[in-house]
A and B are shown apart, each in its own frame.
Chain A
Amino acid sequence: MTFEGNVLPLDRANVDTDQVIPAYFLNGISSSGLGGHLFKGMQGGPELLAAYPDATIVVARENFGGGSSREHAAWALVGRGFRAVVAPSFARIFQENAYNNGIAPIVVDASEIDALLTEPSLRIDLAAETLTLPGGRVMKFALDPLRKRFLLEGGYLDFLANKRDAVRAWLANR
C-alpha cells in the first residue's frame, strides 16, 4: 500500500497527547468528528495546521504521543486526514493506538529528522516499509509484523473475537 502525502513539519520533541487533543475535547462517545480539535493543545498548533492544510504526514521529533492513553489523539489525526507520523520514537500507547486506527507510526533515525522536516512531501510504501524523499532517496523502516496487518486491514477486534474459543480453552486449563 503506497501513498504520497504532504508533510506537516512539527519541529518538536515530546508532543504529548494533551497537546494533540486536550482533555476538554474528550467529552464525546464517538471516535469520529475530532479532526477539528487536532493540535489545539499545542501553542501554535492550529496555526501550523492552517499553514499546511493538505498535510497527511506528520514529521516530528522524539517521543511523539507521550502521556495520556486517549485514543482520541489517533482519532483526531484520522479525522484530519493524516495517515502517518514519522518520528525517531513513539510512546507505547500512542504507537499501538496509531496501528489500530490506520495511522502508520514510522520510526526513522533521529539524524534524519532535520532533512525530513524540510521536505514538502514523502512517498510511503507500507507493504515494502520504505519511505521515499522527493529527490529519490529511499529510507527503510520496520513495522511490527502483527500490527502491520491491523494497520493495513484493520480488524484488531475481529482478530481477538476469533480467539475467544482459544481463550476459553486456555482458561479451562488454568
Chain B
Amino acid sequence: MSRSLFEKVWDAHVIEQLPGNNALLFVDRVVAHEITTPQGALEIEAKYGDQLFDKTRIVAMNDHVSPAKDTETAIQAKVLRQWAKRHEITLYDIGDNGICHVIAPERGHVEPGMTVICGDSHTCTLGAFGAFALGIGTTVQTGAMLAGCVVLEHPKVMRVRVDGRLGHGATAKDLALFVISTLTFKGATGFVIEYQGETIDALSMDERMTLCNMAVEAGGTTAMIAPDETTFSYLRGRENQAKGEAFETNVASWRSLRADPDATYERELVIDASELRPMVSWGTNPGESVPLDKSVPANADVKSLAYMGLEPGVPMKSLVVEQAFIGSCTNSRLSDLRAAAEVLRGRKVTVPTIITPGSQAVKRAAEREGLHDVFQDAGALWTHSSCGPCLGMSMGVVAPESRCISSSNRNFPGRMGAGGRVHLASPAVVAASAVLGRIAAPDELEPLVAEAVVAAGGAR
C-alpha cells in the first residue's frame, strides 16, 4: 500500500496498537531543557529508582533562561545539570549552548526517520530532517525518559505542495506565515503537514527548519520534509553522526524516506510560491497575518484588535515600532543573521534592537564573518544565544502597549511581556523596520551607495 513519509516513519516505530486510535510508539531521541524536564527527572528519581530507559537517547540543554536570571531559574539549570551529570547525559550548557531546536540538529542529534520528542511545542522544527518530531508535555517526556516510548493518537496527514520561485522579498518565514494564515491558528489540528514541491526542494536546511518550526502555530502535530541531498550534505561530517562508509550506508537507507508517488492525504493545500510576498502578523496569533503592504483586515477579530490597539484598514506599514528582535528557534540561524546583516550593513537602527543568535556555535560563525560588527555598528545589541526575548521570560521584555517587530513565532497576548504587542516577520523585514522605526520592507530603504557618496563627499 502506498504510504506518505509520515506513515513510513510512524509504522517503523509502532511497538503495539492501543485502545482507540492510539499506538505505543518508540522514541529515538529525547531533547530535554530546563523548563519542562526537572519536574519529570525528579519524579523518576522519587518513584522509579532514578532509572532511565536509555540515557544515550537523551540530550539536554539549558536554553530558555541561560545564564539564569534569578534564583529560581538558577535552580532549574542546576537540577538539569546535576541530573545530566549523574546519568552521563550529553548536556549543552553556558558557553556552548543555545536553543534546543537549533542545537539538536547542529550537533548531529537528529536524523531522517527518527522519532524525536521534547517538552517544547517547537520541536516540529526538526521535521525538516524527515524526522517525526513533536512537542509534548512534561508527563509524556518523562514517560519517554522512563520507558523509551510514548502513547500517541495516530494523526491525519495533510500535504502542502509548494511550487515555483519565492516571490520578491519572500522567505521561508513568509511562506510559514502564509500557510498559517491560510489554515488558521487551529486549521492543522490533528494533522501532520508534509511539505512537498519544487520550492521546498530548493530550500536550505535553515529555511526548512524555519518553515517546519511554525507548523504548531496552525495547530499541526508537526511538519515533515523528505530528506534529500540538502539534508545529507548538512549531516555529512557533523559531530555525533556516523562517518565515512557508515554514514553513506545510512544515506542509502534514508533515501527511501519519501512519500510514495500515489500516497493519499486527508487534506491538500497547493501554493504558488511566486505569489508570495513578505508577510507580517497584525493580531494575537500567527494565523492573523497579512502581506506587509496590506492593511489590518476588515473582518478582524475584535478582541485581537483591542489587544493590538488597531482598527481595520490601518496599513501595516504605518505602524510605529518601539523594539525589534531577531532571534528565536524560528529565525536565529546563520542564514537569518546574514539576511539581517545585509539590511543593516552601513545603516543605523532607530529603535532598541536585540539580535540573539540561536546557539553559541552560530554566534561564533557569525562573528567569523564579521556580522557582529555590522550589527553593533548599526547600533543593535548583539547578545549571547538563548530563547531570549521571544517568550518574555528573561531579557528584552516589551512594555505594555509597545509594539515589537520580531522574527520569532508567537504574537500571543503577553508573549513578550504583559500587554506587549508583537508583530511577526522575517529577519530582513525586522531589520528594515528597526532602521525606519515602523513596519517596513527592505526595499523601502534608501540605497546605500548614494548615501555613502554623499557622506564621503560632504564630510571631507
Q: Which chain A residues have a beta carbon within 8 Å of chain B's beta carbons?
A: 12, 14, 16, 18-19, 22-24, 26-31, 41-43, 62-63, 66-71, 74, 89, 91-93, 96-97, 100-101, 144-147, 156-157, 159-161, 163-164, 166-167, 170-171, 174
Contacts and interface: CB of A to CB of B under 8 A. Distances in A.
Given A19-B413, A67-B410, A27 B70 contact: yes
B137 A100 contact: yes
Given A69-B121, A91-B186, A91-B219, A157 B137 contact: no
Nearest to A154: B139
Nearest to A12: B303
A18 B386 CA distance: 19
B356 to A, nearest CB: 15
Nearest to A28: B72
A74 B393 contact: no
B15 A96 contact: no
A10 B153 CA distance: 28
Contacts of B64: 23, 26
B412 A156 contact: no
Given A14-B186, A157-B146, A93 B285 contact: no
A141 B413 CA distance: 31
B189 to A, nearest CB: 6
Contacts of A91: 186, 189, 219
- Interface centre among B16, B392, B414, by most chain A C-beta atoms within 10 angstroms, is B414
6 contacts: A27-B76, A43-B307, A66-B219, A91-B219, A96-B140, A146-B22
Nearest to B397: A24
A117 B344 CA distance: 51
Interface of B: 15-16, 18-20, 22, 24, 26, 35-36, 38-39, 42-43, 47-48, 53, 64-65, 70, 72-73, 75-76, 79, 119-121, 135-140, 142-143, 146-151, 153, 185-186, 189-190, 216-217, 219, 221, 284-285, 303, 307, 391-393, 410, 412-415, 418-419
A40 to B, nearest CB: 8
Contacts of A163: 15, 24, 147, 149
Contacts of B413: 16, 18-19, 41-43
Contacts of B149: 160, 163, 167
A93 B137 contact: yes
B369 to A, nearest CB: 32
A67 B412 contact: yes
Given A19-B412, A29-B79, A41-B413, A164 B137 contact: no
Nearest to B73: A27
A126 B285 CA distance: 32
Given A23-B391, A41-B413, A160-B149, A71 B119 contact: yes
Contacts of A23: 64, 391-393, 415
A39 to B, nearest CB: 11
Contact of B148 (A28, A97, A167): A167
B189 A92 contact: yes
A115 B410 CA distance: 32
A10 to B, nearest CB: 12
- Interface centre among A69, A101, A174, by most chain B C-beta atoms within 10 angstroms, is A69
A159 B15 CA distance: 14
A22 B412 CA distance: 10
- Interface centre among B20, B26, B138, B284, by most chain A C-beta atoms within 10 angstroms, is B138
B415 A92 contact: no
A135 to B, nearest CB: 30
B138 to A, nearest CB: 4
Given A16-B413, A67-B410, 4 more contacts: A14-B284, A27-B72, A29-B39, A146-B151
Contacts of B285: 14, 16, 66-67
Contact of B410 (A18, A74, A161, A167): A18
